[in-house]
Structure 1
Amino acid sequence: MRPSNSLYPLQLATLTVAVLSTAVLPVPAAHADTVQTLLESAEPKKQEQAQLPQRPEPVQTVEIKGSAATYDPRRDDTASKVVVSDEEIRRYGDTSVTDVFKRIPGVTVGGSGRGGGDIRIRGLGSGYTQILLNGERAPAGFSIDTLSPDVIERIEIVRAASAEFSTQSIAGTINIVLKRAVKTAQREVKLGAAKSADQNSPSGSVQLSDKNGAMSYSLSGNFWRGTYDRASPVEETLVDPAGELRMARHTRQQDSGRWEGINLSPRVNWNLAGGDTLTSQTFVNVNRNVYHGYEVRDTELGTPPRFDTRDMYNDNRSVFARTDLNWVHRLGEGAKLDAKAGISGMRSKGTWHEFDYRAAALGRDAVVLSETTEQGFSTQGKYSRPLFDDHALSMGWDAGVMLRDDSRTEDEADLPGRTAVDSDEGYEAKVTRLALYAQDEWNLTPRWSVYAGLRWEGIETTSEGDGFDTASQANSVWSPLAQTLYKLPDSRDQVRLALTRTYKAPSPNNLVPRRFTSTNNSQTEPDRRGNPDLQPELASGIDASYEHYWGESALLSAAASMRRISGYTRQGLFLENGRWIATPVNNGNAVTRSIELEAKFPLAAVIADAPGIDVRASVARNWSRVDVVPGPDNRLDQQTPLSATFGADYRSRDGRLTTGASFAFRDGGPVRIDVNQTGYQSIRRDLDVYALWKFTPQYQLRVAVSNLLSQDSVSDSAYLDENGTLRRTSIYPGYTQGRATLEMRF
C-alpha cells in the first residue's frame, strides 16, 4: 500500500537507490548474516577442493531485480481521486476545456452545447461542484470555457472532499492543473482550424521548455479567434386554467459576432541546495467578445409586448492574470514545508447598446457601460512529515482577500413620448477567507489504509454601493472528513468508504442587493437582485465504491453516494411595484443520491491477440428531492438525472495511426423549480470521432468531428398561477463541426 502523496517521491527515490546498490555491491546488506553463515559452512569443503585438480568454473550470473508497481492515484490513494492525463485531454484536439469534460465519466456539462455551460459532478452545478485552477478558486469574472486544453497538464476529479482543498464541494471538486513539469527540452507548435455551419475558428499554440543547470523553464501560449452567425427562435404562450390559448408569440432572433483571446503560462523552476525548490508560475488570459443580436417578436394572439423589435450590440473585453511563488523546503526526518503566495487581478469592461422599437417606431435608445475589477492576494502552505510507523501527517493553511469594484451606468436618449431613465449603479465588495486544516493518512495493515481530516473555513463578505445599505456577512464551517481504502486479500479488488461534511457558500453576486432590470419584464424574464441575508448550504455525505482491477489497465467500478443538504437555496420570484423580481432565498432541505458504474479495459484483456483497442464506458444515475417544492420532478438545481459515456480508441501496431470515437448522453426532462415555476432540461447526445496520424516523430496531423448527430438544444421555463400557464421555449440549433490541427515538434 502506498503512503501519502507527499512521501511517495522520497520513498521511490530510496527504493531506486537500494536497487542500484544491489546491482553494484557483491552482497546485499539485507542478506549479510545469511551469506556469512553460508560462507562459514562452506570453508571445510573449500579446503578439500584445494587439494584436487582445479577446473575453470563457469561464471555464475546473479540477477537481482527490484520493481515498484506503477503508481496509480485512483487505485493507490486512500483519498479517492481520478486523474485525467495530458494525453486524454489532447486526444480530440478540443479548443475549449468544456468539450473535454463532456467525455469524462460522471461529469456533465450544462447549457445548450454551444460552450460556456457549467461543469457538473453528480449532475449538480451552480456552486455545488467546486472548480479550482492550480488548487485555487478562479475569480468570479474568469470563465473556465476560455481556458485552452493545451495549457493543462492534468485534471483531477475528487468526488469525496479532502481537508487540503476547500470543502465548498458538496458534489465534488475539479482541480485543473496547468502545465508544470519540464522533463526534456521541447519545442512544439500547433496550428488548427474548426468549421461548422454557424461558425469558424482558427487557433494556434506554442510550447517551449528547457533546462539550464539548476534552472528549468517552460512557456505555454495559445491564441484563438472565431466568428459565428446563428438563429435562436423563441416561442411564448399563455394558456388559461380552462386550457384555452390566450397568447401566442414567435420571436425570430439572429445572433452573430466574434470572439478572440490568448493564454500565456510561463513557469520557471530553480533547484536549490538541500533539495529545496523555488517555482514561479504565471497565467495570463485576455479575451474580447463582440456581439450583435436582432430579434423581432410577432404576436399572433393576445397583447403584444412593450417592445416588439430589439437591436443589440455588445463589446466586452477582459483580462485576467495571476502569479504565484512556491517554495518547497526539505526538513529533517522526511518532513517538508510547501508554501505558496500569489497575487491576481481581473478587469472586464463592456458596452451594451440597445435600440427597442414598437410598431417600427424607436421607443428606447439605451447605452449601458459596465466595468468590473478584482484584485486578490492568497497564500497556502502545508507542513508534512512521517509520524510513527506508516503515518503521514500534514497540516496547513489557506487564506486570501479579494477586492471587487463593479460599476454600471445606463444612459437613455430623450425620445418623444418617453421619459429617459438614467442610472448610475455600482458597488464594492471585499471577501476575506481563512482556512486551517490537519489530516493524517496511515496504513493500519498492508491492505487497509485510513484517512482522517479536519478543516475549519471562515468567509466574511462586505459590500456597499449606490442604492443599498452596507451589507456584511460572516460564516464559518467545521468540516470533519474520513475516508478508508481496503484491498481484499487474494484478489485485486478493493472497497472505499468516505464520510464528509461540506457546504456551498453564497457567491458575492448573490449577496449584493443590486438590481439588474429586464427589458420586457415578466414572470419568465424577471429582474434580478441579490440577497444579503443568504446563508451557506450545509451537507452531510457518504460515499462508497467497489473497484475490481482484473488486468493491465482494466477496471470495473461501482460507486454510490448520498448528501443531505440543509438551508437549500432556491430562486424566489415575487412582484414588487409592478415588476417581477427573482432573488435567491434559503428555504428547506434537500437530499441527493447517485449511483455510478464504470468500465475501461484493453480489448486484449478479454480477447486473445485482439487489436490495440481500448474500451471505456460509464453510466451515472442521479436522484434528488427538495422538500419545500411539490413534486413530481422537484430535482435539486435542475440536476441531470442520467448520463452515460462510451468510447473506444485504436492504435496501430506501428504506432503511427491512432483513432477513436466517443458518445456522451445527458438526459433531461421537466423540472419543478418552485410552486409556481417549472423548467425543462434538454436531452443531449454528442457523438465525436478523431484520428491522429504521425508522419514522423516531429510532425503529426490530428482531425476530429464533433456533434455528428447535429443535436439541437431546447430550453423551457414556465410560470403557473390562477391566470394560467405562461411558457417560454428557446431552441438552439446544433451543427456538426470539423477540426484539423497540425502539430510540429522541433
Structure 2
Amino acid sequence: MSSRQHHLRLAVIAAALSAAMSAHAQQAASAPAEKPAKPADEKMQQVEVRGSTEAYNPRRDDTASKIVVNHDEIVKYGDTSVVDVLKRLPGITVSGGSARGGGEVRMRGLGAGYTQILLNGEAAPAGFSLDSLAPDVIERIEVLRSASAEFSTQSIAGTINIILKKAIKKGQRELKAGVGKGAGFVNPTANLQLSDKLGQMSYSFTANVFHRKYEQDTPSEQEGFDPAGRLVMQRNSQSRDNGQFSAINLSPRLNWTLANGDTITSQSFVNVNRYRGNDNVATFTTVGPQPAYPRAWFHNLNENEFFRTDLNWVHKLETGAKLDLKVGGVVGGLGNEQRRLGFNPAGAQTLDSEVLSKGTDRGVTSTGKFSTPMFEGHALSVGWDGGISTRDDQRAERGLPVELFDARVDRFAAYAQDEWNITPRWSVYLGARWEGIRTRTAGNTFDTAETTSSVWSPLFQTLYKLPGTKSDQVRFAVTRTYKAPNTQSLIPRRFKSVNNSSTEPDFQGNPDLKPELALGLDASYEHYWGEGALLSASASMRRIDNFTRNGVLFDGERWVQLPVNDGRATTRGIELEAKFPLKSLIATAPALDLRASVSRNWSSVDAVPGPNNRLNAQTPFSATLGVDYKLGALTTGGSFAFKTGGPVRISTTQSSYQTARRELEVYGLWKFSPQNQLRVAVSNILGQGYEAQNTYADQFGTVNRSTSYKGPVVLRATMEMKF
C-alpha cells in the first residue's frame, strides 16, 4: 500500500506541474483509437473487432470522469418518467415529488440549479418538464461529476446529459402499451418506435403518449409562539388536490452518408404537455386569529409546447481530424390560467382572482468543434457554443392593467481541450472555456434591466492507472464552474400568495443578482476486477462565492421572498459505489447482478450561524441497493433507496426540516417470444410519503408550518411487441 500511495503522490504532483506548464487546453476524448487488425481470415477479424468494442468502457477508460447509463438499464423498471430513472443512479437524489409527479433532480444533494440538466448537450427551453420525457426516447444518460469544456460550466454540482435516441436498427417496429395504477392514481402510456436503413439513408421515429390522473389529500399544520414560548396560534389545513397531466413526445431523426464519407443528421424533438388541477383548502383555527381566507379554491391550467430541431454535419479530414458543425432552432409556447377564490371567516366570498399569462420562446443555437490527433499522444479539440433566445410574456389579472414583459439572453462560449496520453498508464485532460451571458429584461411595470456576466473556466482532470495492478486507477480534477441566475430570479415582478405570512410569502425577483462562482476539487479511486465489476470511492469539495439564498422580509405591508447574494458557502462529500455479478466472486453462483452506493454530504454557509447551516436543504445521506436476476425467459430484480432530510438553517430567521424517505421497488420481465414480452413493476412498496416543515423566528416570535405528502403504492404493467 505504501508503494502505491507513493506513486499516487508522484502522479498528482506531476499532473499539477503539467497543468501549469502546458499551453494546450484539453478535453476528454472519446474511445481510444483501435489497434490495427492483425491479418486473419474473416471470422477471426470479426472476433477481434468485437473484443475491442467490448473492452472499451467510457467510465474506466476516458480521462474525463463520466458515468454512462445505456438504454437497457434506463427502461428496466418500466418507468414512465426519466425522473424515476435518475433516482436510482449513484450519487443522484430526487427531492420533493408526489402523486402529481415532479421532483428536483440533484447531484451531491444540491438543487436550486446547481445540477445542470442537458438535452442532447444543450439546456432545454423554459417550460420543459423532465417529468414529461419518456425513458423510451432516450438512448443513454451521461453523468459528469466534473465539468468538461465542451459543455456549459454552469454545473457546480455536476451535469446530467440526456441523449435522445440515435441508434438505428434495421427494420425495427416496436410498440409498447402499459398502465400504472395506485390509490387515487392512474397512468396509461403508449410508445411507438420505427427505424430502418435505405441505402445511404437511415431514419428513426419515436412517439410517446403519456397521461397521469391523480387525487390526493395533503394535510398541513401551522403553529405560532410568542417570545416567551407560549402558543398563540394553531391552525390545521386540509388540501384536497386532484388533476391530470398529459404529454406527447415525437422524435424523428434522418441520417445521410455522403459519397465522400461525410454525414448529415437531422434530429427534431417535439414536446407538448398539458396540466389541469384543482385544489380545495379548508383551514380550521383552534388558537388565535383566523386567516384572511379560511377556505380557498385554486384552479390551474398549464399548457406548454416546444419544437426543437438540429442539423448536424460531420466532415472527416485525411489527417484524421474531424469537423463537427451543428445549427439548431427552438420555438416554444407557454400558457397559464390561474383562478383563486377565497372565503372570509363568515363564509362570504371576498376574493375572486383570475390571472391569465402566456409567453413565447424563440431561439437559435450554433455549435462547432474541430478535433485533431495532433502529435503523438495528443487529441486536441477547439470549438464554440453560442445562441440567442428571446421570451415574450404577458400577464393579465382581473381588475389590473395588463403586464407586458420581454427578455433576451445572448450567450457565447469558446473552448479548447486536449487529452494527453503521457504514458500508457497516465493521461491528462486540460480544458479552458470562456462563457459570456448578457440578459436584458424589460416590462411596462418595472424598469429595464441589463446584466452581463462572463466566466473563465480552467479545467484539469487526470487518470493514473496504478503500477503493479491490472485494474486499479485513481482520478483527480480541479475545475472552475458557476451558476448564473435564471430569468425568473432577475425580474422584479411580484407574485402574491393568498394567505400571506412569513411561511407563505410573496415572491419577487432581484435584478442585482450576480452569478455564483465555484472552485471544485474531485478525487476518486476505482477498482475493476472483472466484466461489469467495479468498486469506487470518491471525495469532492466545492467553494462557492456569491452564494444565493432566498431571503424573507416584511416590506411594511406584506411578507416577501426574494433571492440575494450572501457571501461564501462550502460543500464537501464522499461517495462509495459497488456493482458486480455474483459470479465474479463465486463461479458457481446464480446469475445475480448486485449494485450499491452510499453518499454523504456536508455543507456550510459562512453568513448563516450554525448548526445546520447547510446549502439549499442539501441531502446529507443517501444510499441505494439493487439486485437483478436472470433465469431463462425471466428477468427480475429490485431496488431500495434511502435518503435523509433533517434540519436546515437557511438564515438567522428561516429554517426548514424534512423527514427521511425510503423507496422499495421490484420488477419482472417475462419474454414470451423474441417478439413479445411483458414487464411488470411495483414502486413505493412501503407506501411512504414524507413531511416538510418551514419555520420563521424573530424577536416577535416563531411560526412553524408543516405539510405531509403521501406516497401511493403503484403497480405498472407494460406489454412490449415487435412486428
Question: Do both share a fold (TM > 0.5)?
Answer: yes
Q: Residue deviations 1:595-651, cap 9 Å, x none?
A: 000000000111221000000000000000000011111001111000000000001
- Separation in 2 of the partners of 1:636 and 1:337? 42
* Deviating more after overlay: 119-128 vs 234-243: 234-243
Within the alignment, does 1:187 sit opposite 2:173 as a pair?
Answer: yes
Aligned to 2:41: 23
- Separation in 1 of the partners of 2:638 and 2:444? 54
* Deviating more after overlay: 307-316 vs 169-178: 307-316
Aligned to 1:573: 552
Aligned to 2:466: 488
- Separation in 1 of the partners of 2:255 and 2:508? 46
CA contact (8 A) 1:81 1:156 kept: yes
Question: Which of 627, 635, 659 is 1:658 aligned to?
Answer: 635
Q: Residue deviations 1:25-84, cap 9 Å, x none?
A: 99x9xxxxxxxxxxxxxxxxxxxxxxxxxxxxxxxxxx9999525211000000000001
Aligned to 2:615: 636
Secondary structure of 1:509 counterpart: helix
Shift of 1:311: 1.4
Question: Which of 297, 300, 304 is 1:318 aligned to?
Answer: 304
- Separation in 2 of the partners of 1:208 and 1:721? 61
Percent of aligned pairs sharing the same letter: 56
Within the alignment, does 1:281 sit opposite 2:299 as a pair?
Answer: no
- Counterparts of 1:49-68 in structure 2, within 5 Å, are 67-68=51-52
Within the alignment, does 1:106 sit opposite 2:91 as a pair?
Answer: yes
Secondary structure of 1:631 counterpart: coil
Within the alignment, does 1:214 sit opposite 2:192 as a pair?
Answer: no
C-alpha RMSD over aligned residues: 1.8
Aligned to 2:13: none
Distance 1:661 1:392, change over 3 A: same
- Separation in 1 of the partners of 2:203 and 2:164? 14
Aligned to 1:44: none
Aligned to 1:371: 358
Aligned to 2:106: 120
Aligned to 1:410: 397
CA contact (8 A) 1:634 1:672 kept: yes
Residue identity in the other structure for 1:293:
D
Aligned to 1:153: 139
Within the alignment, does 1:672 sit opposite 2:649 as a pair?
Answer: yes
CA contact (8 A) 2:31 2:58 kept: no
Within the alignment, does 1:604 sit opposite 2:622 as a pair?
Answer: no
Shift of 1:4: 7.7
Secondary structure of 1:518 counterpart: coil
Aligned to 2:334: 348
Aligned to 2:453: 475
Residue identity in the other structure for 1:734:
G
Secondary structure of 2:586 counterpart: coil
Within the alignment, does 1:382 sit opposite 2:369 as a pair?
Answer: yes
Shift of 1:22: 3.4
Within the alignment, does 1:88 sit opposite 2:66 as a pair?
Answer: no
CA contact (8 A) 2:496 2:505 kept: yes
Aligned to 2:5: none
CA contact (8 A) 2:576 2:598 kept: yes
TM-score normalised by length of structure 2: 0.94
- Counterparts of 1:425-440 in structure 2, within 5 Å, are 425-440=403-418
Q: Residue deviations 1:143-185, cap 9 Å, x none?
A: 1111111100000000000100100000000000000010332
- Counterparts of 1:703-722 in structure 2, within 5 Å, are 703-722=680-699
Q: Residue deviations 1:400-438, cap 9 Å, x none?
A: 011011211110xxxxxxxxx524223100000000000
Distance 1:677 1:5, change over 3 A: closer
- Separation in 2 of the partners of 1:488 and 1:185? 46
Distance 1:583 1:65, change over 3 A: closer
Distance 1:576 1:189, change over 3 A: same
Residue identity in the other structure for 1:570:
R
CA contact (8 A) 1:516 1:529 kept: yes
Question: Which of 424, 440, 450 is 2:402 aligned to?
Answer: 424
Residue identity in the other structure for 2:686:
L
- Separation in 2 of the partners of 1:295 and 1:88? 41
Q: Residue deviations 1:660-715, cap 9 Å, x none?
A: 00001111011101100001123111100000000000000000000001111111
- Counterparts of 1:300-311 in structure 2, within 5 Å, are 300-311=286-297
Within the alignment, does 1:233 sit opposite 2:211 as a pair?
Answer: no
Aligned to 1:175: 161
Shift of 1:7: 6.5
- Which consecutive residues of structure 1, in runs of 5 or more, have no partner in the other structure? 29-62, 412-420
- Separation in 2 of the partners of 1:609 and 1:185? 39
Q: Residue deviations 1:467-522, cap 9 Å, x none?
A: 11000000000000000001112311000000000001100110111111111111
Distance 1:70 1:304, change over 3 A: same
Question: Which of 616, 619, 624 is 2:598 aligned to?
Answer: 619
Secondary structure of 2:319 counterpart: helix
Aligned to 1:72: 57
Question: Which of 524, 529, 536 is 1:557 aligned to?
Answer: 536
CA contact (8 A) 1:441 1:451 kept: yes
CA contact (8 A) 2:27 2:416 kept: no
CA contact (8 A) 1:621 1:643 kept: yes
Aligned to 1:45: none
Residue identity in the other structure for 1:85:
N
- Separation in 1 of the partners of 2:187 and 2:624? 27
Residue identity in the other structure for 1:275:
G
Shift of 1:5: 6.8
- Separation in 2 of the partners of 1:65 and 1:302? 77
TM-score normalised by length of structure 1: 0.91
Within the alignment, does 1:393 sit opposite 2:380 as a pair?
Answer: yes
CA contact (8 A) 2:441 2:449 kept: yes
- Separation in 1 of the partners of 2:472 and 2:196? 42
Within the alignment, does 1:544 sit opposite 2:523 as a pair?
Answer: yes
CA contact (8 A) 1:397 1:434 kept: yes
Question: Which of 693, 697, 719 is 1:742 aligned to?
Answer: 719
- Separation in 1 of the partners of 2:668 and 2:51? 35
- Separation in 2 of the partners of 1:569 and 1:261? 33
Distance 1:65 1:503, change over 3 A: closer
Secondary structure of 2:475 counterpart: strand
- Separation in 2 of the partners of 1:510 and 1:354? 24
CA contact (8 A) 1:643 1:667 kept: yes
For these two proteins, the number of residue pairs brought into alignment is 693
Q: Residue deviations 1:511-560, cap 9 Å, x none?
A: 11111111111111111111111000000111000000112211000000
Question: Which of 115, 124, 130 is 1:138 aligned to?
Answer: 124
Within the alignment, does 1:526 sit opposite 2:513 as a pair?
Answer: no
- Separation in 1 of the partners of 2:494 and 2:444? 11
CA contact (8 A) 1:23 1:64 kept: no
- Separation in 2 of the partners of 1:499 and 1:343? 34
Residue identity in the other structure for 1:742:
M
Distance 1:372 1:522, change over 3 A: same
- Which consecutive residues of structure 2, in runs of 5 or more, have no partner in the other structure? 1-25
- Separation in 2 of the partners of 1:165 and 1:318? 26
CA contact (8 A) 2:28 2:429 kept: no
Residue identity in the other structure for 1:84:
V
Residue identity in the other structure for 1:678:
S
Shift of 1:445: 0.5
Distance 1:64 1:622, change over 3 A: closer
- Separation in 2 of the partners of 1:487 and 1:23? 34
Aligned to 1:462: 440
Within the alignment, does 1:587 sit opposite 2:573 as a pair?
Answer: no
Secondary structure of 1:332 counterpart: coil
